[in-house]
Every structure is written in C-alpha cells, then in structure tokens.
C-alpha cells in the first residue's frame, strides 16, 4: 500500500483527464460527476496519507529510470502540505468552474487539461528528487497553457505566448541548474535536512551559482520580480483558471520548489552558511513592495489581484529565507493561508464578472447590497491579505515578523509593515466601494438576475466555503489540525533531525 | 461556568448574523438594546472567573477581574443606553440596517477586548472595533462625514501598524503571547524601549494622545449622536486599557527597568492635551466638537496618571484605582452629555431651560462638582499623589479642571442654541434619563473604599469653587470681547495644515512618474542589446564545455550568463 498510494493519488486525476478528453462535448452530467468523484477520491486518499504521516509512517513509489537517477514519489509532511491544499482547492475550483463555464464551448478540452494540471501539481508536491520534480514541473507548464488560452481570442493567445516564453525559459534555467548539480555532486534526493552539508568548500562558489540558477528557474513560476511578467498577462484566462493558477498550481509550485531546494537539497543550515539566505530575503522583500506598488496602479480587479499575488507569494519566500523554525513556519503556513484567501478573492472577482459584467474596480460601487455574500467573502479575503485578525493572514504575518526578529533581520519587520499599509491602500478602497458607495443606475452587463440566491449557486457555494476556511484557519490556528500546526510539524522535523 | 464570559460576545455576534441574514424590510432596533445585557449582567453579578480556549488564535484567555469588571459594566451600560437612543432617533433612517450591523460589530469588538488577557484576542477585538466604527462615522455620507472617515481610517491604520510593530518587536522575549508578559518583555528585551514607544503611540491613536488626536474632533460631530456617545465614552478607553496592561507599571517589570524620560514625555503629552484641548475646544462652534475636545482633555489627565505610574511604580496600585474610577466616571458622564445633544434636538415638550438643567448634571460631574462622580474620581486621583513630592503636578491637575469647566460652559452655551424639532422621541428621553442616573450612581457601586462624604471636604470644596469661578470669569471675558476678538480654530486643528503639506508632496508624483517611465524606456533598449550579447557568450562557453578541469568554472559562467540573459529579457516588455 505504501508503494501504491502516491501513484494512486496521481492516477485519480490522470485517469480523469484521459476519460474527460474522450467524452463527447454534450455529456455534461457524466463529465461533471466524474470530475467531482475524482476530486473527492483524491481528497480522501490525501487525507488518509496525512493522518498516516502524522503518525510517522512513510509512503514511497520508486522506479529506476537511468543509471543512478530514480523516479521517486514520496509523501512526507511537506508534500502533504501542498498536496492537501491542492486537492482541497481542486474540488472547490471544479465546482466553481462547472458553474462558470456553463453553456460555453470546449468544456471537455478545458476539464481534461484541468485534471492534467492538478495531476502535475500532485506530482510536483510528491516528487522525491529534483529530477522527478522537474518532470512534473514542466508537465505543469504544458498543461496550464491550454487553460490560459482557453478563450481563443487574440489577446488570450498573446498572453499564452508570453506565459510560455517565461515558463519555458524558467524551465531551461531549472534544467541547467539540476544538471549542473548532478554533474557536481552526483544524484541527490530530497532529504529532510538537505544533502549538501558535507561538500568541500571548493565547491561553494559553484553551488552558489547553482542555487541562484535554481531559484531563478523556480522564481519564474513563483513570480519573483523581475520574472513575474507573465502573471498579469495571464489574467485574460477565465476566473477558475486564475484562481487555480494563482492560488494552487503554478505560483505555489514555484514557491514549493524553493522550499524543496532550500530545505531538502541544500539544507537550511548549509544555505545559511553559504550566505544565500539574506540576498534571497532582500529579493523577496523587493518583490513584496514592488508588487504592492504596482497593484495600487491597477484599475482592473483581476490585474490588481494578480499583482497582489506577486507580492504575497514572496511572503512565503521571505519566510523561507529567515533562518529559524519560526520564520519557516511563517513561510509554510502562508503557503496554505495565501492559497485559501487568494482563491476566495479570485472566485469573487469571477462572480462579479459573470453576474454583473464588472471587471473594473470603479464599477464595484454598491455591489454589497446586490451581492452581500460575495462581497462579504471578498471583504474577509481582503482583510486577510492586509493582515487584520482574526483572518488567516494575520497568523502568517505574526510568524513572519517573529521569525524576522529571531533571525536578526530587523529590516524585514519594516518591509512587512509597509506592505501591510500598501495592502490596506489598495484593498480598502475596493471594500469601501462595495459597501458604502452608491451604485450606478445600471450594471455593465447583468447576466444573472437576483433570484433566490444572489448568483449561480455553483459559483457562490465554493466562494463562501473558502471564505469560511480563511476565517477558520485564523480563528482556530492553535487547534490540532490547523495549517499552523501542520507547518509547525514540518518545521520541527526540518530543524531537529 | 467560566463559559458565561463568551455570552457577552456571542449574543452580539448572533444578533449581527441575524440582522445580516434576515431579509425583512424593517429591522427592529431592539437588537441594539438587548444585546449588551448579558455583558452587563455578567459584570454586575458574576464572580471573578477566567475562561480559556487553548485552540483559538494563539490560545485565548478571558478574565473578569477587578480591572475588567468596572470597565465592562460601564461599556455595557453605554451601549445599552445608546441602543435605546437609536430606537427612536434613527427610526426613519433608510440605512438603519447597515448602521445596526456596524453598531453590533463595534460592540462585539469593544466587549471582547475588555475581557481579553491574551494578545491575539485583544488585538482582534481592538481591530474589529476600530474598523467597524468606520461604518458608524461615515453613516451620514455627507462630505464632512466622508472626510472625517478618511482621517479616522488613515489614523487607525497607522495605529494598527504601530501596534503590530510593537508586538512583533517584543516576540523573541515574550514567554507566551499573553498581555501580562508584555511588561516583562519590555523590561528584559534589548529593544524593549522601542516596543514600549511603538505600543504607546499605536494605542495612543485610539486614546487621542496629543499629536494623534485630530480624528476625534472630526469624527464626533459627523457620527450619529449615539455613535459619538459610545465612541467617546467607551471606545477611546481601549487605548488606555492597553497602556495599563502593557507598560511596565508594576511588579517585576517595573523593578527591572527605568523608563523615566519616557514617563516624563507621557506626562508632558497628557498635561499638554488637558490644556491645549481645553483652549481649542472652547473655540468650537459645534456642541459635539466641544465634547470631543473635552474627551481629549480628560484622556490627557488619565494619560498623565499613567505617566506618573510609570515614573513612580510604588504609586501604581493607588493610581490604577484612580484611573479606573476616572474611566467609569468620564465614560458615563460624557455619554450622558452626548445623549443630551439628541435631547436638545428632540425635547418632546421639555423647555429649553429644562434641557439645559438636565445637561448641567453630567457637566457638573465632569467639572468635579461636590457629590458627583467627578469629585470622587478627582479625590482618588489626588489622594494617590499627595505627599509624594508631586505638588506641582497636583496643582496642574487642579488647574486642568478650569479647562474642563470652560469647555462645559461653552458646551452648555452651544446646547442652548440647538434647533429643536417637534418630533416626539420617547426613547431618546428615556436614554438620557438612564444615562444621567447611571452617571450619578454607578461610581458608588465600584469597590473604591471611598467615604461618601470625603469629596466634600473643605479643600475639595475650595478647589471646586475657585476653578469654577475662574472658568466663569474667563468665559465672561470671552463673551464680552467676542465683538472685537474673533478667534476660530476649525475642528480637527492640525489636520488641515497636515493635509496641505501632504497635497504639496503629492504634487511631486507626476514628474517622478514621468521620469521613471523615461528611465524605463532607456532600460528596455539596454536590456535587449545586453541579452543578445550574453546569449552569444553563453552559447560560446557551452560549446567549450568539455574540459573536466574547468568544468565547475564553466558551469558557473554559463549559468550566470543564462541568468542574465533571461532576467534582462524578462524586464523587457514586448508590447504588452
């Protein structure tokens, strides 16, 4: 069982993808139920693994590919952090996408690649060495491209081209980095405290260069400035894709890769010795501030959220570069918190666009009266981004600030506080418009009139649930199965073993 | 048993959800009246208890003790009376539901933070109260209300960020995220003083400390009267409560650190607020603005007491009792005064003189007239300071009573000029009556060990007389000379020059932005050329990547060049 379980988790979405590709376009019910069934089965399997790993069990799938390079899928505490987030959010995004794309063409193609995308994410999370990681990382790029260009318009194709340019370039950098590492020190697997501790000091400069290369390759997906240009352009994709790309699959895969490199390849102590952590913190800090400043200048809702993502994902990287368990906890827990909160915000943006035709912030006047639940969900997500308790974002900021003080990098505290103010500057006006401004006499394009629910219940339900999770993750942060407790588990295992 | 503490906040939360989710066209304002009742009953009747919820936030601890009980009672009474006021005052307001929602949320935060003894739930209650109150301030949606709301929100955000900075600075030295460990962390951490200053300033925004006070006189006149009452009566005390629990005023923390300069600054700010607000407030044209400045002045006096406690930790026990008594006294008296403004607008048969006489009662209490709660509070205050070589301070505090009396005279004068309408509002009259009775009686319920007759000792009577006399004299001179001396300071005082300065700075933005985009153009040309060059170099090096000896160097070089290429190309936007 320990051999098959990681493979099974992958298989649920791979099989779903193959099946959905072959389904005729008009078999909606069958496609929908198969999608949901696969998602639920996946959550069950991941949940089983989480409970087992908490009890010190291990799961590993291993095939030898060539020479000393193995294909390894391993489920440890860190992989299950990401896998749990992905599988849970995949379920909600599937429900949302079914509602969002109702009546649009090419849904089989969409959901097929959707499932492939999630399969790649699962592979990324459970990869046991850099090589396996790379395989699924590139598979992620290729399976998300059709989703970005789904609409087929000229703008979408252009955005897709930009997306490919960036991500394949990043993939090349990653490949060169991995190959160089292999040439230098031989084959490496992900070990809890890193494998490079005992290399000779002659290799330090080369290792530093490789570190930079790896982070750059991963940093494209993780939207580090100046490698973030694809993210705002990719907003042309449908809202479920933006939610998936920006909360789960692509950006988190990049950030997750950074976690793996720092903690499980180089090892955090060695990285600290090498002196790469502080520059990484500086780059992340710059991204945080730059992303927030750019967000202020946007008038389109999704573009503003895109730059907010650029800024927020770098919180994760900042946390990872703060030496010490507290900083690590801050970075890891923000991976989960930011995922849930951002997916809520993008769900709301999609609902605004679908129901009332609103894509610009200035058209949001008075929407709170027309769609109170959606606006409330948006408010919760936005407050979380700003870091106001008790929403989950406050918990992350608390641990990030604490980690910064423990690591002796006091200037990071300033970065956190300035970015909180900037976040408030670009989220509070939106909330003001929602609840306090008088609405225009007519909505830009009211497609779903207010019936029993304010909008399509397939769109509303996932949004409300993820908003509740954002609130719950903060309020119940000290509970046994909260994201914070899981991050603590990982940090303890990383620093103490 | 200890779970009853959660009822104080669970009931407002349930009411909030009910009002939010219920789609009835008319929403009954009874929610506003009844929801603070559990909190009041708990404060009056329940024994000292501690409630713990270790799985919430970072581990939540709520306590009903000698500090939280009086504050909870006063706060609950104010919210209750305000709710009663709302019933008729906002009966015909089309946005009543929205007002009620913000009212309930603010109440929730206010009640929670009083009982909170852990940092996370205190900060949560504080943040909830602060942000929900925005909805109360901008309720009228007039130009002044929106402006006041903006100033309020900006100051609130600055305060929140400073508070967070203060907490985060202390975290390495904080044993547990509990409020009672904060003074110890301040005393032992190397950055303890910085944290203390950050926390003082951050909470000082809420408390109306001089220099951070400008939102108060803007917010009070524009908010609906019941909102102003709870804002001045209950909410600004939250800052004071935070200081009392977080600064090293007592115990081991006070023994480990001396923050004398800091304490002197606090005393200076407090006394400055007491007098400056007194002067500026007496020049106001709106009754509620005068009351706002009076709140700043009174909070200044309480700030001074906190400073003295910091300077002389041996006085802290006596001063804490005095501060608590002062908070209860001021909260109820100020609340009553705000509510009388509503009574003056809807007198329901009472004559102008009757309304003024009714308002005179809490005004006298605030000014410290004999037998009032003010006299009791002032007695306790001076009692804690006597025979401590602080005679100048005692004199300054006595003199501050002149400022208070002056403000009250100005307020009563403006109250007499309020336009009265014919609409009958019985709940308004009821609320005012309740608030006056509460302000006269509640302080005697506190376990103060105060002999009833002490405040009418000879010295207290003499102090009350000469301060009141001096105030009447100044008021008379000002009244007589108003034809040839026209002094006017707009409400919000320093906010106006500050805004002008900020607008001047903002005018620098367009030229900066234009030069930035010019630079960006040049950069794009540079990067395109540079990336072509480095790509050539990288391919050249790769083609020589054969010799084992230079393998590592070549790897590093090629990698660096690839990276440069890619980075440069990424910053170059291809006609996005």
How far is A207 from A267, CA to CA, in rounded Å?
Answer: 12
The minimum CA-CA distance between A48 and chain B, rounded to whole Å, is 23
The minimum CA-CA distance between B196 and chain A, rounded to whole Å, is 16
Q: CB–CB of A350/A96 below 8 Å?
A: yes
Q: For residue B512, what pLDDT is reported?
A: 81
Question: A17-48: buried (b, 16+ CB within 10 Å) or exposed (e) per residue?
Answer: bebbeebeeeeeeebbebbeebbebbbebbee
How far is B574 from B560, CA to CA, in rounded Å?
Answer: 23
How does DSSP assign B307-360, residue by residue? Answer: HHHHH-GGGHHHHHHHHHHHHHHHHHHHHHHHHHHHHHHS-TT--HHHHHHHHH
- Which residues are CB-contacts of B458 (< 8 A; sequence separation ≥ 6)? none
Q: Do B566 and A424 touch (CB under 8 A)?
A: no
Q: For residue B257, what pLDDT is reported?
A: 79
Of A458, A386, A400, which Cα lies nearest the Cα of A28? A458
How confident is the model over B285-322, as pLDDT tens digits? 899 999 999 999 999 999 999 999 998 888 888 899 89
Among B56, B127, B552, the residue with its CB nearest the CB of A388 is B127
* Sign for the pseudo-dihedral over CA of B317, B322, B327, B329: positive
Tell me if chain A has a CB within 8 Å of the CB of B573: yes
Q: Do A476 and B55 touch (CB under 8 A)?
A: yes
SS (H, E, C) chain A: CCCHHHHHHHHHHHHHHHHHHHCCCCCHHHHHHHHHHHHHHHHHHHHHHHHHHHCCCCEEEEEEEECCEEEEEEECHHHHHHHHHHHHHHHHHHHHHHHHCCCCCCHHHHHHHHHHHHHHHHHHHHECEHHHHHHHHHHHHHHHHHHHCCCCCHHHHHHHHHHHHHHHHHHHHHHHHHHHHHHHHCCCECCCCCCCCCCCHHHHHHHHHHHHHHHHHHHHHCCCCCCCCHHHHHHHCCHHHHHHHHHHCHHHHHHHHHHHHHHHHHCHHHHHHHCCHHHHHHHHHHHHHHHHHHHHCCCEHHHHHHHHHHHHHHHHHHHHCCCCHHHHHHHHHHHHHHHHHHHHHHHHHHHHHHHHCCCEHHHHCCHHHHCHHHHHHHHHHHHHHHCCCCCHHHHHHHHHHHHHHHHCCCHHHHHHHHHHHHHHHHHHHHHHHHHHCCCCCCCCCCCCCCCCCCCCHHHHHHHHHHHHHHHHHHHCCCCCCCHHHHHHHHHHHHHHC
Query: Which one of A199, A232, A283, A388 makes the best mutation probe of the B interface by having the most chain B beta carbons within 10 Å?
Result: A388
Q: For residue B575, what pLDDT is reported?
A: 39
In a domain, B455, yes or no: yes
Q: What is the mean pLDDT of each run of 10 residues along chain A (497 residues)?
A: 84 89 84 90 91 87 82 89 92 92 86 92 92 92 91 88 86 88 82 78 85 91 86 88 82 93 88 89 94 91 93 94 91 94 95 92 91 94 94 95 91 94 95 91 82 86 95 91 89 77
pLDDT at B103 over 60: yes
In a domain, B106, yes or no: yes
Q: CB–CB of A420/A293 below 8 Å?
A: no
Among A166, A227, A479, the residue with its CB nearest the CB of B55 is A479
**Overall average pLDDT of the B487-516 stretch:** 85
SS3 category, B236: coil
Query: Which one of A402, A409, A420, A426 makes the best mutation probe of the B interface by having the most chain B beta carbons within 10 Å?
Result: A402
Tell me if chain A has a CB within 8 Å of the CB of B153: yes
- Which H helix or E strand runs over B50? strand B49-53
Same-domain status, B459 and B521: no
Chain A CB contacts of B54 under 8 Å are 478
In a domain, B96, yes or no: yes
Chain A CB contacts of B160 under 8 Å are 388
pLDDT at B516 over 90: no
- What is the span of the domain harbouring residue B127? 1-235
In a domain, B493, yes or no: no
Q: Do B58 and A478 touch (CB under 8 A)?
A: yes
The minimum CA-CA distance between B434 and chain A, rounded to whole Å, is 33
Chain A CB contacts of B559 under 8 Å are 176-177, 180, 209-210, 212-213
* Cβ–Cβ pairs < 8 A, chains A and B: 123
Look at strands A69-75 and B49-53 and give their pairing: unpaired
Q: Do B556 and A206 touch (CB under 8 A)?
A: yes
In a domain, B241, yes or no: no
Domain count, chain B: 3
How confident is the model over B76-98, as pLDDT tens digits? 999 999 999 998 888 888 888 89
How confident is the model over B317-355, as pLDDT tens digits? 889 989 999 999 999 999 999 999 999 988 878 888 888
Same-domain status, B151 and B28: yes
In a domain, A236, yes or no: no
Q: For residue B518, what pLDDT is reported?
A: 83
How far is B487 from B130, CA to CA, in rounded Å?
Answer: 33
How far is A126 from A268, CA to CA, in rounded Å?
Answer: 20
- What is the span of the domain harbouring residue A437? 276-497
State the distance between the two ends of chain B, measured CA to CA, in whole angstroms.
Answer: 64
The minimum CA-CA distance between A74 and chain B, rounded to whole Å, is 29
Same-domain status, B330 and B199: no
> How many alpha carbons fall within 13 Å on the CB side of residue A430?
32
Query: Which one of B168, B191, B556 makes the best mutation probe of the A interface by having the most chain A beta carbons within 10 Å?
Result: B168
Tell me if chain A has a CB within 8 Å of the CB of B54: yes
Confidence of residue B509 (pLDDT cuts 50, 70, 90): confident
Going by the DSSP 8-state scheme, the letter that residue B454 receives in this structure is G
Q: Do B563 and A421 touch (CB under 8 A)?
A: no
Confidence of residue B445 (pLDDT cuts 50, 70, 90): confident
pLDDT at B117 over 90: yes
In a domain, B483, yes or no: no
Q: How many CB atoms are closer than 10 A to CB A409?
A: 21
Q: Give strand pairing partners of A69.
A: A66
**Overall average pLDDT of the B249-265 stretch:** 86
pTM, to two decimals: 0.91
Query: Among B162-166, B203-207, B264-268, B538-542, whose mean pLDDT is lowest?
Result: B538-542
Same-domain status, B375 and B519: no
Q: For residue B126, what pLDDT is reported?
A: 96
Same-domain status, B201 and B287: no
Q: Do B165 and A475 touch (CB under 8 A)?
A: no
Same-domain status, B401 and B473: yes
Q: Do A206 and B552 touch (CB under 8 A)?
A: yes
In a domain, B318, yes or no: yes
Among B157, B172, B576, the residue with its CB nearest the CB of A406 is B172
How far is B271 from B269, CA to CA, in rounded Å?
Answer: 6
Tell me if chain A has a CB within 8 Å of the CB of B22: no
Same-domain status, B95 and B194: yes
Q: For residue B576, what pLDDT is reported?
A: 34
Size of chain B, expressed as the number of residues it contains: 576
How far is B280 from B290, CA to CA, in rounded Å?
Answer: 9
In a domain, A419, yes or no: yes
Q: Do A387 and B164 touch (CB under 8 A)?
A: yes
How far is B152 from B131, CA to CA, in rounded Å?
Answer: 10
**Overall average pLDDT of the B394-422 stretch:** 89
Residue-averaged pLDDT of chain B: 86
Same-domain status, B514 and B451: no
Same-domain status, B353 and B455: yes
Among A162, A372, A420, the residue with its CB nearest the CB of B161 is A420
In a domain, A136, yes or no: no
Among A166, A172, A180, the residue with its CB nearest the CB of B555 is A180
Confidence of residue B205 (pLDDT cuts 50, 70, 90): very high
The minimum CA-CA distance between A228 and chain B, rounded to whole Å, is 8
The minimum CA-CA distance between B307 and chain A, rounded to whole Å, is 28
Domain count, chain A: 1
The minimum CA-CA distance between A397 and chain B, rounded to whole Å, is 9
Same-domain status, B510 and B395: no
Phi, psi dihedral angles at B118 (to 5 degrees): -110, 150
The minimum CA-CA distance between B502 and chain A, rounded to whole Å, is 16
Q: Do A210 and B127 touch (CB under 8 A)?
A: no
Q: At what angle do helices B373-385 and B352-367 cross, to 10 degrees?
A: 10
Chain B CB contacts of A436 under 8 Å are 135, 138, 141
Same-domain status, B210 and B354: no
| The Cα angle at residue A239 between residues A237 and A243, in degrees rounded to 5 | 105
The minimum CA-CA distance between A56 and chain B, rounded to whole Å, is 23
Q: Do A402 and B59 touch (CB under 8 A)?
A: no
pLDDT at B122 over 60: yes
- Which residues are CB-contacts of A412 (< 8 A; sequence separation ≥ 6)? A281, A285, A318, A322, A400, A401, A404
How confident is the model over B456-499, as pLDDT tens digits? 667 777 877 888 888 888 888 888 887 766 777 888 888 888 88
Among B141, B161, B172, the residue with its CB nearest the CB of A417 is B161
Cα separations in angstroms, A410 against A46, A300, A400, A454, B567 = 38, 35, 11, 47, 29
Environment class of B487 (CB within 10 Å of its CB; exposed 0-12, middle 13-18, buried 19+): exposed
Among A372, A389, A402, the residue with its CB nearest the CB of B171 is A402
* Domain end residue (candidates: B235, B267, B296): B235
Q: Do A477 and B54 touch (CB under 8 A)?
A: no
How confident is the model over B20-68, as pLDDT tens digits? 888 776 767 777 788 999 999 999 888 899 999 999 999 999 999 889 9
pLDDT at B513 over 60: yes
In a domain, A92, yes or no: no
Q: For residue A497, what pLDDT is reported?
A: 59
pLDDT at B357 over 50: yes
Chain A CB contacts of B172 under 8 Å are 402, 405-406
Question: B208-245: buried (b, 16+ CB within 10 Å) or exposed (e) per residue?
Answer: bbbebbbbbbbbbbbbbbbbbbbbbbbbbbbbbbbbbb
Among A166, A383, A477, the residue with its CB nearest the CB of B58 is A477
Of B235, B265, B269, which Cα lies nearest the Cα of B156? B235
State the distance between the two ends of chain A, measured CA to CA, in whole angstroms.
Answer: 26
Q: For residue A84, what pLDDT is reported?
A: 92
In a domain, B469, yes or no: yes
Cα separations in angstroms, B80 against B32, B36, B109, B425 = 7, 6, 15, 17
Give Dmax (Cα) for chain A.
71
Among B20, B168, B562, the residue with its CB nearest the CB of A176 is B562
Q: CB–CB of B172/B189 below 8 Å?
A: yes
Q: For residue B132, what pLDDT is reported?
A: 95
SS3 category, B287: helix
Cα separations in angstroms, B226 against A67, A157, B364, B421 = 79, 57, 21, 18
How far is A378 from B52, CA to CA, in rounded Å?
Answer: 31
Query: Which one of A160, A180, A226, A389 makes the best mutation probe of the B interface by having the most chain B beta carbons within 10 Å?
Result: A389
Of B240, B234, B207, which Cα lies nearest the Cα of B79? B234
The minimum CA-CA distance between A357 and chain B, rounded to whole Å, is 24
Same-domain status, B229 and B285: no
Q: For residue B426, what pLDDT is reported?
A: 85
């Amino acid at each position: 069982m320990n051999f098959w379980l990681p493979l099974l988790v992958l298989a649920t979405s791979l099989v779903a993808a193959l099946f959905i590709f072959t389904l005729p376009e008009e078999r909606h019910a069958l496609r929908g139920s198969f999608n949901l069934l696969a998602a639920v089965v996946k959550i069950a399997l991941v949940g089983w693994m989480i409970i087992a790993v908490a009890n010190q069990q291990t799961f590993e799938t291993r095939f030898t590919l060539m020479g000393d390079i193995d294909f390894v899928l391993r489920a440890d505490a860190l992989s299950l952090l990401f896998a749990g987030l992905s599988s849970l959010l995949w379920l909600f995004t599937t429900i949302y996408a079914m509602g969002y794309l109702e009546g649009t063409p090419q849904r089989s193609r969409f959901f097929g690649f959707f499932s492939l995308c999630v399969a790649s994410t699962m592979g990324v999370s459970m990869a046991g060495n850099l090589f396996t990681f790379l395989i699924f990382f590139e598979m992620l790029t290729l399976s998300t491209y059709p989703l970005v260009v789904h609409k087929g318009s000229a703008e979408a194709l252009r955005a897709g081209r930009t997306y490919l340019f960036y991500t394949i370039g990043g993939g090349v950098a990653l490949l060169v980095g991995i190959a160089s590492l292999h040439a230098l020190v031989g084959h490496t697997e992900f070990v809890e405290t890193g494998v490079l501790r005992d290399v000779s000091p002659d290799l330090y400069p080369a290792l530093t260069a490789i570190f930079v290369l790896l982070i750059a390759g991963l940093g494209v997906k993780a939207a580090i400035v100046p490698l973030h240009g694809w993210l705002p352009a990719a907003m042309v994709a449908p809202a479920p894709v933006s939610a998936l790309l920006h909360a789960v699959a692509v950006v988190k895969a990049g950030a997750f890769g950074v976690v793996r490199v720092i903690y499980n390849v180089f090892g955090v102590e060695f990285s600290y010795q090498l002196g790469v952590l502080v520059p990484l913190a500086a780059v992340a800090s710059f991204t945080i501030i730059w992303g927030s400043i750019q967000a202020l200048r946007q008038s389109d809702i999704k573009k503003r959220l895109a730059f907010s993502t650029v800024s927020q994902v770098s919180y994760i990287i900042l946390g990872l570069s703060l030496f010490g368990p507290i900083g690590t906890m801050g970075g890891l827990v923000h991976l989960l918190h930011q995922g849930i909160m951002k997916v809520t915000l993008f769900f709301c943006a999609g609902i605004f666009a679908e129901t009332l035709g609103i894509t610009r912030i200035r058209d949001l006047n008075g929407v709170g009266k027309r769609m109170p639940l959606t606006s409330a969900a948006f408010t919760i997500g936005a407050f979380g981004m700003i870091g106001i308790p008790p929403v989950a974002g406050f918990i992350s900021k608390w641990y990030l600030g604490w980690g910064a003080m423990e690591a002796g990098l006091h200037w990071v505290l300033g970065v956190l506080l300035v970015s909180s103010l900037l976040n408030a500057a670009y989220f509070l006006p939106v909330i003001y418009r929602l609840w306090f401004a008088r609405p225009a006499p007519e909505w830009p394009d009211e497609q779903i009139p207010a019936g029993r629910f304010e909008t399509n219940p397939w769109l509303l339900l996932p949004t409300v649930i993820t908003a509740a999770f954002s609130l719950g993750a903060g309020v119940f942060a000290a509970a046994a199965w909260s994201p914070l407790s899981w991050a603590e588990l990982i940090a303890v295992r990383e620093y103490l073993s | 048993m200890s779970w009853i503490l959660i009822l104080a906040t669970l009931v407002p939360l349930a009411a909030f959800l009910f009002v939010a989710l219920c789609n009835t066209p008319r929403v009954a304002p009874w929610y506003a009246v009844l929801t603070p009742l559990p909190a009041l009953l708990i404060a009056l009747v329940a024994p000292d208890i501690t409630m713990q919820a270790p799985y919430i936030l970072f581990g939540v601890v709520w306590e009903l003790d000698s500090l939280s009980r009086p504050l909870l009672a006063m706060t609950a009474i104010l919210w209750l009376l305000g709710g009663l006021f709302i019933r008729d005052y906002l009966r015909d307001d089309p946005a009543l539901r929205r007002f009620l929602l913000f009212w309930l949320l603010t109440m929730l935060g206010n009640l929670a933070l009083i009982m909170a003894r852990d940092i996370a739930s205190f900060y949560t209650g504080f943040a909830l109260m602060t942000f929900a109150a925005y909805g109360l301030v901008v309720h009228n949606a007039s130009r002044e209300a929106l402006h006041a709301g903006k100033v309020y929100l900006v100051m609130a955000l600055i305060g929140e960020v400073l508070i967070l900075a203060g907490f985060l600075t202390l975290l390495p030295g904080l044993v547990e995220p509990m409020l009672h460990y904060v003074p110890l962390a301040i005393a032992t951490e190397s950055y303890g003083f910085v944290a203390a200053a950050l926390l003082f300033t951050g909470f000082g925004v809420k408390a109306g400390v001089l220099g951070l006070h400008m939102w108060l006189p803007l917010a009070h006149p524009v908010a609906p009267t019941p909102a102003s009452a709870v804002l001045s009566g209950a909410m600004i005390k939250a800052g004071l409560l935070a200081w009392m629990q977080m600064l090293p005023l007592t115990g081991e923390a006070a023994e480990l650190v001396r923050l004398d300069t800091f304490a002197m600054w606090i005393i200076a700010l407090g006394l400055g607020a007491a007098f400056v607000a007194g002067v500026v407030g007496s020049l106001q044209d709106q009754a509620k603005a005068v009351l706002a400045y009076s709140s700043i002045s009174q909070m200044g006096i309480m700030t001074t007491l906190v400073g003295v406690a910091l300077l002389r930790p041996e006085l802290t026990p006596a001063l804490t009792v005095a501060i608590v008594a002062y908070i209860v006294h001021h909260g109820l008296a100020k609340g009553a005064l705000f509510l009388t403004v509503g009574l003056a607008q809807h007198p329901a048969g009472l004559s102008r003189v009757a309304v003024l006489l009714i308002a005179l009662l809490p005004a006298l209490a605030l000014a410290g007239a004999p037998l009032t709660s003010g006299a009791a509070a002032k007695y306790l205050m001076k009692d804690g300071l006597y025979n401590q070589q602080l005679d100048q301070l005692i004199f300054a505090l006595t003199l501050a009573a002149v400022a208070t009396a002056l403000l009250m005279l100005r307020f009563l004068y403006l109250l007499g000029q309020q336009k009265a309408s014919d609409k009958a509002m019985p709940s308004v009259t009821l609320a005012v009556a309740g608030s006056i009775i509460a302000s006269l009686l509640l302080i005697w319920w506190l376990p103060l060990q105060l002999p009833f007759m002490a405040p009418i000792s000879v010295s207290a009577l003499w102090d009350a007389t000469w301060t009141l006399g001096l105030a009447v004299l100044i008021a008379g001179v000002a009244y007589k000379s108003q034809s040839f001396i026209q002094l006017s300071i707009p409400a919000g005082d320093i906010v106006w020059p500050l805004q002008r300065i900020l607008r001047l700075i903002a005018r620098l933005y367009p030229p900066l932005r234009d030069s930035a985009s010019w630079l960006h153009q040049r950069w794009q040309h540079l990067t395109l050329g540079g990336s072509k060059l480095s790509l050539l170099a990288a391919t050249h090096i790769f083609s020589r990547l054969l010799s084992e000896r230079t393998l590592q160097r070549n790897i590093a070089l090629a990698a660096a060049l690839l990276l440069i290429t890619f980075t440069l190309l990424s910053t170059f936007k291809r006609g996005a």
